[in-house]
Amino acid sequence: MCLLRYGFFRRSKVRIKLTIAYDGTNYAGWQIQKNALTIEEVLNKALTKLTGEQVAVIGASRTDSGVHAAGQIAVFDTDSSIPAERFSYAINQKLPADIVVLHSEAVPDDWHPRYQDKILKTYRYRILNTKEKDPLRRLYTAHVSFPLAIDNMQEASSYLLGTHDFTGFSNIKSEVLSGVRTITALELEKVGEEIALTITGDGFLYNMVRMIAGVLIRVGRGFYGPEKVKEILENRERTKDRLTAPACGLTLLEIRYDEE
């Protein structure tokens, strides 16, 4: 009794890493906002209710409004006695159906999802290239009713591989010290009625993948030649009129770290 009274058995804080999937349709992105519902806010409230502590998760990627995720990463600190590997089950009982924690585990106290020696993020952008819209795919693909020349789009996308200054593919609101990023893998393929752009890199600027998708769509329609991508990279000029493809087509597939 005395030992418990004076706190000798008090549990030290543990940092828990979560792998999260979500349908971003009904949310204003990941990051907390004053007047809109976000993924981060829902997670914080659910974890606070579960643990009885005031919890604030730290996410790896601030996905935009309407963007989905299959492998978002976040961490939080807790005194809870719930085993780390059981948090995924426990928290899912308190989350809405469009947010699911796929995995949970303990990590070192100083482990941060945005500051590691090596981080690779993979996104996929899906385009539904049919004459009519598909109501069953409208939330997860961008619809383009005009025929798209996949060969020209693939040629254009080849310019993106490697290390470049991607400032020309970032929103004018983006505030970063450097636009230099490295794209390590890129695949553009057509399967049936869908065209999928899968892109992996060490980081992405604000709206970068959606702007790349928007330019590739214009290439596919014949408004731009494939060399337009090279021109945008070289000019590094942000423009207000550059097409940003709809958020619904974008999914954060995976985040990998150097220790994995």
The alpha carbons of the chain give a radius of gyration, in whole angstroms, of 21
Q: Which residues lie below 8 Å from residue 66, measured CB to CB, with a gap of 6+? A: 24, 25, 27, 29, 246, 247, 248
pTM: 0.92
pLDDT score of 4: 45
pLDDT score of 5: 45
Are 150 and 188 in contact by the 8 Å Cβ rule? The answer is: yes
pLDDT score of 1: 45
pLDDT score of 64: 93
DSSP readout, 95-164? S-TTEEEEEEEEE-TT--TT--S-EEEEEEEEEE--SS--TTTTTTSEE--S---HHHHHHHHHTTSEEE
CA-angle at 143, arms to 73 and 135, nearest 5° = 85
Q: Is 110 a catalytic residue?
A: no
CA-angle at 111, arms to 110 and 113, nearest 5° = 135
pLDDT digits (tens), the chain, 260 positions: 444 444 444 558 999 999 999 999 999 999 999 999 999 999 999 999 999 999 999 999 999 999 999 999 999 999 999 999 999 999 999 999 999 999 999 999 999 999 999 999 999 999 999 999 999 999 999 999 999 999 999 999 999 999 999 999 987 665 667 889 999 999 999 999 999 999 999 999 989 999 999 999 999 999 999 999 999 999 987 765 568 999 999 999 999 997 65
Neighbours of 121 (CB within 10 A): 20
- Which helix (H) or strand (E) segment holds residue 208: the answer is helix 208-221
pLDDT score of 258: 78
* Active-site pick, 64, 79, 165, 202: 64
